[in-house]
């Protein structure tokens, strides 16, 4: 029995294979449950036994229900959901389909994820920066003022930043964008399964593998219905005549076993209650930051409402080396974030810890001891 871990989160831990060491890297990829892993392998077996397309047809009810569940989580209509391979694939699909002239402006927060900035540049878009407070939180009033004087083609927000504990007030931003008639796209790669992503945004996209603890290779995209008529999509020549625009953004072939298993991960989230998980992740973030305060060689960055914690080395330590030593010597899996991940926000490498709901004070104590020893 894990020290002070409440029964609910002990159960969450027991539902998945035991870790080799301490996994505090959900922001990279969460840990799937036995049931999710079983659902992948069961479907793969079925594909080999009856044929891949028969297996897919027999999973039709599961896949249809999944589309509805994902629509609920993303806050869009079911026909606005597309399944893709990853969050990046979702952004690519959007940038290909959305009517955007060259040099159209995309307004982003300084904490924007670098590969998204690269995708905007590759699409010929210009980036403008949104006004934020000292912590990097986008200011809804400032956004309103910006939209009143310059009209970007869209506002793009990472709801939860990847490199530090920063959550954006997407519901407020959505209200301001809607009033100004400027579309809001939300990158929820770090947000889905972590905080509530069902706001009134025009677009929300995410991945299965992080906070939902679903399989890798499954991403999802939700588009509000008012935009469907303006999307430029190419339907597969063999697609049904009445195929919706969101479906046309999906690959012809796909990781169906992963989608079937994502349905299991979402069912397990629902069994606990999504908002119970969001609250627990907020608590885990606060416990993590409290446990690591006052380490002599590290400073804990402030955070708001997330389980992601970033640590800044204060004595010039090489974060990549510390990350490697944590893993090799203590079995602690964390991330070294280079400034290249968020070049408008980061000035130096940070150590990222992203525990999930089953993080115990025992584990936090071991992480503290390890960081103390490494220096």
Ligand X SMILES: Cc1ncc(COP(=O)(O)O)c(C=O)c1O
Residues in contact with ligand X by CB under 6 A are: 86-88, 113, 158, 162, 187, 189-190, 207, 219
Q: Classify 223 as helix, strand or coil.
A: strand
Is 244 or 258 the residue whose CB approaches ligand X more closely? 258
Radius of gyration for the alpha carbons in the chain, expressed in angstroms and rounded: 21
Task: State the minimum distance, in angstroms, from the CB of residue 90 to ligand X.
Answer: 8
Is 9 or 278 the residue whose CB approaches ligand X more closely? 278
Task: State the minimum distance, in angstroms, from the CB of residue 308 to ligand X.
Answer: 10
Is 26 or 268 the residue whose CB approaches ligand X more closely? 26
How many other CB atoms are found less than 10 A from the CB of residue 327?
A: 15
Q: Calculate ∠ Cα 26-340-313, nearest 5°.
A: 70
Task: State the minimum distance, in angstroms, from the CB of residue 229 to ligand X.
Answer: 27
271-299 burial code (b ≥16 CB/10 A, e <16): eeebeebbebbbebbbbbbebbeebebbe
| Residue carrying structure tokens 């490494």 | 374
Is 335 exposed, middle or buried (CB count within 10 Å of its CB: 0-12, 13-18, 19+)? buried
Task: State the minimum distance, in angstroms, from the CB of residue 91 to ligand X.
Answer: 7
Is 338 or 361 the residue whose CB approaches ligand X more closely? 338
Q: Classify 239 as helix, strand or coil.
A: coil
Task: State the minimum distance, in angstroms, from the CB of residue 88 to ligand X.
Answer: 3
Rounded CA separation 145/60 (Å): 47
Is 206 or 370 the residue whose CB approaches ligand X more closely? 206
Q: Who's near 123: CB < 8 A, 6+ residues apart?
A: 95, 100
Task: State the minimum distance, in angstroms, from the CB of residue 366 to ligand X.
Answer: 25
Is 56 or 159 the residue whose CB approaches ligand X more closely? 159
Is 66 or 162 the residue whose CB approaches ligand X more closely? 162
Is 130 or 189 the residue whose CB approaches ligand X more closely? 189
Cα 284 to Cα 157, 280, 318, 355, distances in angstroms: 24, 6, 26, 7
- Of the candidates 61, 75, 72, 93, the residue with the CA atom closest to the CA atom of residue 247: 93
Rounded CA separation 177/157 (Å): 12
Rounded CA separation 34/55 (Å): 21
Task: State the minimum distance, in angstroms, from the CB of residue 31 to ligand X.
Answer: 16
Rounded CA separation 96/359 (Å): 40
Task: State the minimum distance, in angstroms, from the CB of residue 161 to ligand X.
Answer: 7
């Amino acid at each position: 029995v894990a020290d002070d871990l409440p029964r609910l989160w002990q159960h969450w831990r027991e539902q998945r294979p035991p870790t080799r060491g301490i996994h505090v890297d959900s922001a990279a990829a969460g840990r799937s449950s036995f049931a999710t892993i079983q659902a992948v392998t069961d479907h793969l077996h079925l594909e080999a036994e009856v044929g891949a397309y028969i297996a897919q047809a027999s999973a039709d009810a599961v896949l249809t229900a999944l589309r509805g569940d994902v629509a609920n989580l993303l806050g869009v209509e079911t026909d606005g959901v597309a399944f893709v391979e990853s969050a990046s694939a979702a952004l690519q699909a959007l940038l290909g389909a959305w009517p955007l002239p060259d040099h159209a402006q995309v307004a982003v927060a300084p904490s924007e994820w670098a590969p998204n900035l690269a995708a905007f540049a590759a699409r010929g878009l210009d980036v403008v920066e949104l006004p934020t407070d000292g912590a990097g939180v986008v200011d809804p009033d400032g956004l309103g003022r910006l939209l009143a004087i310059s009209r970007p083609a869209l506002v793009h927000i990472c709801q939860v930043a990847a490199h530090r504990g920063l959550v954006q007030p997407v519901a407020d931003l959505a209200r301001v964008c809607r009033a100004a008639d400027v579309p809001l796209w939300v990158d929820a790669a770090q947000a889905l399964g972590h905080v509530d992503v069902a706001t009134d945004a025009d677009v929300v996209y995410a991945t299965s593998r992080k906070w939902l603890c679903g399989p890798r290779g499954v991403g999802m995209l939700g588009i509000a219905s008012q935009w469907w008529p303006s999307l430029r999509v190419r339907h597969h020549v063999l697609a049904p005549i009445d195929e919706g625009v969101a479906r046309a953004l999906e690959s012809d072939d796909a990781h169906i076993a992963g989608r079937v298993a994502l349905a299991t991960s979402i069912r397990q989230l629902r069994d606990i209650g999504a908002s119970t998980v969001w609250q627990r992740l907020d608590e885990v973030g606060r416990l993590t930051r409290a446990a690591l305060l006052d380490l002599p060689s590290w400073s804990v960055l402030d955070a708001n409402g997330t389980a992601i914690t970033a640590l800044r080395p204060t004595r010039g330590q090489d974060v990549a080396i510390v990350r490697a030593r944590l893993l090799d010597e203590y079995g602690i899996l964390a991330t070294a974030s280079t400034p290249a991940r968020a070049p408008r926000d980061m000035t130096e490498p940070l150590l990222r810890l992203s525990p999930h709901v089953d993080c115990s004070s025992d584990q936090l104590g071991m992480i503290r001891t390890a960081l103390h020893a490494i220096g």
